[in-house]
Amino acid sequence: MKKIFTLAFLSAMALVSCRQVIIETPVETGSLALTVGNNTEYTTIITTKADGDVIDYTNTDNYDVVIDGPTRKTMKFSELAGNVIELGSGNYTITVTSPATEPAAFEQPIYQAYAEFVIRAGEVTPLDLICTPYNCKVTIELTENFKKELATYEVVVNNGLGSLTWTKDDAKNDFAAEKAGYFLPRGLEIKVKGHRSIDDTEATAIHYIENPQAAEHHIIKLDAKVTGQIGGIDIMVETTFTEKNEDIIIGGLDETYVDRPDFTGGSDDEEEEVSTVPSIVWAANPFFDPIEISTSSEVSMVINAPNGFETFIVEVSDNFKGAIKIFTKDDSKDYIDLINDADIWAQVPGLPIGDQIKGQKSITFELTPFISTLCSAAAGMTVDFILKAGDPNGDFALVNDDYPVVTMIVPNN
């Protein structure tokens, strides 16, 4: 078993491509001594994307750095070296992320580091960050019997934010060499479909991986029985290197049958409960990082509520509540109620309102209609939109166990 991931932070002495930069500031503020490195134990370090771009993950120069606090900075790490950047005294957070952060993509590991720190006037604050794997890895392995029994087959892996497909047919063979898919760590659904070599009979299987974790490597092993139903799915966990093996047996060539693993300790006949909790996907910004906007910016996301939407309120940061009151002509309403105040917000083209939301199970929600107003009336401000979309059960679409927040940074005119 080869070593795939290491979750623990590494000593700075063991790092490759670590660089240090001193961010100097006037004496009434403070300085930050920042070192950024990456965990080089990740399986794929240098990878070529489908578009031909080569990403060297050992080179931290192209990592994105976001410093948030009394002074806010967003830049590439390479922009820090040799520059003088002022940071006012106070409490800060810093996030460092490798380039390319699609929620599901081939050959795209994501590295990230997060820390909180304090800047004190006239002092240098040392900060060492190690970027560790942020997503999980999936590879597919086939037994010789599987390849002999099935002429064509495909595997689709979906994490609810995106999906990847491995295919073997007359035109292509994604299984000829290891092809790694990387997913943000959400529940994974694995669908397998194949056609038997001798008579083109179809066989299928569905497998679920609950709660995959960052830095885990899930190896999906596919086998096929010549006759009978699809066999049970055995899950073998190798804990030494956070590498996990998932065995799926494809059989049942005379009928389609789905066997799901029992995570509850109940009987084999129990069905796995499908989550009905609302969810939100911002494909262009899956981590809900703050964004700097312009008049051409678009902010669009998909919100799902399997039980239907009952409420949808958008709260705003204090610096924008006055504008909301002016629009609603009601001092008691410094928030946006898209369902109950549909007549008010119908004046804003592009906003879903009323019955376009209530009772619906999925909507596309855009904050784009507010962007032109922000750019003209809120120059130099940072405005938060807190989204509270809930269902009749009182469940809400959450991100990291909290209401999702869209933070827009409005540049000075």
Q: Which residues contact 60 (CB under 8 A, 6 or more apart)?
A: 17, 18, 19, 36, 37, 38, 77, 96, 131
Q: Reduced to 3 states, what is the DSSP secondary structure of residue 116?
A: strand
Domains and CATH numbers, the chain: 12-133 (2.60.40), 136-250 (2.60.40), 279-409 (2.60.40)
Give me 381's structure tokens.
């401000």
What percent of the chain lies above the pLDDT cut of 90? 17
Counting every residue written for the chain, the total comes to 413
Of 149, 136, 237, 135, nearest to 192 by C-alpha is 149
pLDDT band, residue 274 (cuts 50/70/90): low
Q: Quick one: 408 exposed, middle or buried, by C-beta within 10 A (0-12, 13-18, 19+)?
A: buried
Q: What is the mean pLDDT of the chain?
A: 74
Tens-place pLDDT, residues 194-234: 888 777 878 788 888 877 888 888 888 888 765 433 332 22
Name the pTM for this structure.
Answer: 0.51
Q: Which helix (H) or strand (E) holds 318?
A: helix 318-328
Give me 410's structure tokens.
């409005």
Task: Determine the longest span between alpha carbons in the chain, in angstroms.
Answer: 80
Q: Reduced to 3 states, what is the DSSP secondary structure of residue 93?
A: strand
CB of 157 within 8 A of CB of 137?
no
Look up residue 347 and give its amino acid: Q
Give me 205's structure tokens.
């299987």
What's the N-to-C CA distance of the chain in angstroms?
57
